[in-house]
Amino acid sequence: MLMKQKKATAAILAATVAAGLLAGCSANSNHNNTKATSSPNTNASASPSATEKPAEPIEITWGIHFQAAGVVENTKVEKWLEEKYNVKIKPVKVTDASIASGEVPDIFMLGDPANVSAYQNQGVLSSIDPSMLKEKMPEYSADIEKNAKLFQTVTFDEKLWAIPMFIDLKPYDLAMLWRKDWLDKVGITKTPETLEEFEKAVYAFAKDDPDGNNKKDTYGLTGTATSTWSSGFYSLFGAFGVEPTMWHEKNGEIINGSVAPETKEALAKLRQWFADGVIDPEFITDTQDSYRKKLYNGRIGVIEEQIAKGALPESATVTEMKSLNPESELVFAKNPVGPGGHGSWDWGVKSNFVVFGNKVQEQPEKLEKLFEILRAQSSDEETINMTTLGEKGVHWDFATAGATSGATKFLPGFEKQEERDQDGVRLFSMGNITTQAYREKYSNPALNEAIKTYSSAPNLTDALLFSALPSDGKYKADLTSLMQKYFAQIISGEIPLEDFDKFVAEWKARGGDELTKEANEMYKAQFQK
């Protein structure tokens, strides 16, 4: 199962770790998407008999969930874990500075293979015996084996350095959220499906006064050129069959989407739209938050939105739009089909990664205890619920009254994540390390159906599953910035479209050729069937 990967250089740390702790998808998404088995954890600590002296608690330094703002001491969840598993927990916030100072937790999460590679290179992590993983977490192991290539992303020097998490139905996949009332106003009765229909609609939004105020103050769409990993306009590039910065397999060879010929075609289309006043000129500085506000405020008529936030009547963006603009109406739709197919940026089955600190390998009793808790976090319903949702009836309940499975909801006083953090809910969660059975029990059927309907996965995901290349630390961030600069200038008309060829040459010379060589070597050694 595990195959050899060339060891990443120490330079990866500086370039990738700063963003890495927050790079992964949310590992606390169980109640939003797929959440379980009801059988108790058979590996849980047994209670001592009346004549036995209780064993001393094992001390664990626990890196709290990387998306949490900070440590909250002595929370309800922390005390519950300590009592149930006979441990003493010291919660810590994992940062680059804390790791650099030598304060390495016994257990924590990382968001990306590049971060695992960087920390492993610094001697921060303990390696993991795959056979021990299989023995100690049999339920989860049976599920993750279906996505066994994920192990390749965190295997260096023929050793495994992290436990991969996986996600099957992804609520954060992107599709299109349209102002249906604007479509109606400009005489479009069919939600756009093709690139041509998409183009007709966004031109009408920009030219035909969809808000009816007799002013030329609307645009079709905007982008997110400020993305840290790509270019924005993901669905439009996807219509041409590419995603900038992503590694694609074409006829057995690995190429980068930033320099693919199809990318020039997509840029030509976007450049024309900008010249015709269809794209908001502020696209260069827009973010997902700012383009949502522009949708709410009637400046643009369509955005790329996460399925969980836009596909259902109770979805966050839909409800916010209705509260701010009661007369508006939104409709969700698939990504437009173009000459290269359809799709948007897709993180694939990769989720986050669980790692052990470098001192754990010297403490077999602690390692045993960590695996006991991890097994429970993956397959024991009581433990998963307490760490991800909290106490039933206090923090959460099922969305349907009287239900014993299905979608869940947080109760008043705990609807905001920061409120739940105060009781430790999420701080000690390992999220998507849950079994498939648990996910199915706690899933929202309506959201699952929406994901199946609107997600374009796996049309466009990384051929290397976002693995770290040996020279990423030297080149990746610089090449991403180079791409963003050129693309913004090409789309806005600041430089001619033909300068794309100049960009390709510069990209290759500044490290792109070396990365492409490494990407092909890795693909052939580890991922090619």
Per-residue pLDDT tens over the stretch 96-115? 899 989 899 999 999 889 89
* Distance (Å, whole) CA 310 – CA 453: 13
What is the percent of the chain where pLDDT is above 90?
Answer: 78
What string of H, E and C letters represents the secondary structure of 384-422? Answer: HHHHHCCCECCCEEECCCCCCCCCEEECCCCCCHHHHHC
* Distance (Å, whole) CA 126 – CA 358: 4
Per-residue pLDDT tens over the stretch 266-303? 999 999 999 999 999 999 998 888 899 999 999 999 99
Task: Check residues 35 and 294 and name the one with the higher pLDDT.
Answer: 294
Two structure tokens written together for 305: 């939105």
Is residue 249 within 8 A of residue 463, CB to CB? The reply is yes
Residue 299 has what pLDDT? Answer: 97
Task: State the chain's mean pLDDT as an integer.
Answer: 89
Residue 22 has what pLDDT? Answer: 38
Per-residue pLDDT tens over the stretch 160-170? 999 999 988 89
What is the percent of the chain where pLDDT is above 70?
Answer: 90
Per-residue pLDDT tens over the stretch 206-252? 999 999 999 999 999 999 877 777 889 999 999 999 999 999 999 99
Confidence at 49, pLDDT banded by 50, 70, 90: low
- Sheet strands (E) in 276-358: 302-306, 330-333, 350-356
Task: Give the HSE-up count for residue 81: Cα atoms under 13 Å, Cβ half-sphere.
Answer: 35
Q: Which residues contact 407 (CB under 8 A, 6 or more apart)?
A: 31, 398, 399, 400, 442, 443, 444, 445, 446, 447
What global pTM score does this model have? 0.81
Is residue 321 within 8 A of residue 295, CB to CB? The reply is yes
Question: What is the Cα 242 distance to its own chain's centre?
Answer: 19
DSSP 90-146: EEE---HHHHHTT---SEEEESSHHHHHHHHHTT-B--B-HHHHHHH-HHHHHHHGG
Confidence at 529, pLDDT banded by 50, 70, 90: low
Residue 287 has what pLDDT? Answer: 85
The mean pLDDT of 489-495, rounded to a whole number, is 97
Per-residue pLDDT tens over the stretch 363-421? 999 999 999 999 999 999 999 999 999 999 999 999 999 999 999 999 999 999 999 99
Show the domains of the chain with their CATH numbers.
34-166+349-443 (3.40.190.10), 171-346+460-527 (3.40.190.10)
Confidence at 1, pLDDT banded by 50, 70, 90: very low
Q: Decide if pLDDT at 523 tops 70.
A: yes
Per-residue pLDDT tens over the stretch 115-160? 999 999 999 999 999 999 999 999 999 999 998 899 999 999 899 9
Task: Check residues 335 and 11 and name the one with the higher pLDDT.
Answer: 335
Is residue 356 within 8 A of residue 128, CB to CB? The reply is yes
Q: Decide if pLDDT at 29 tops 50.
A: no
Q: Decide if pLDDT at 505 tops 70.
A: yes
Residue 458 has what pLDDT? Answer: 86
Amino acid in position 209: D
Looking at beta carbons, which pairs linking 525-528 to residues 24 or more positions away fall under 8 Å?
525/3, 525/4, 525/5, 526/3, 526/4, 526/5, 526/149, 526/152, 526/467, 527/149, 527/152, 527/463, 527/464, 527/465, 528/252
Residue 304 has what pLDDT? Answer: 95
Q: Decide if pLDDT at 47 tops 50.
A: no
Is residue 246 within 8 A of residue 462, CB to CB? The reply is yes
Residue 52 has what pLDDT? Answer: 67
* Distance (Å, whole) CA 355 – CA 107: 6
Smallest CA-to-CA distance from 233 within 347, 346, 311, 345 is with 345
The mean pLDDT of 181-198, rounded to a whole number, is 98
* Distance (Å, whole) CA 369 – CA 124: 20
Residue 347 has what pLDDT? Answer: 87
Confidence at 3, pLDDT banded by 50, 70, 90: very low
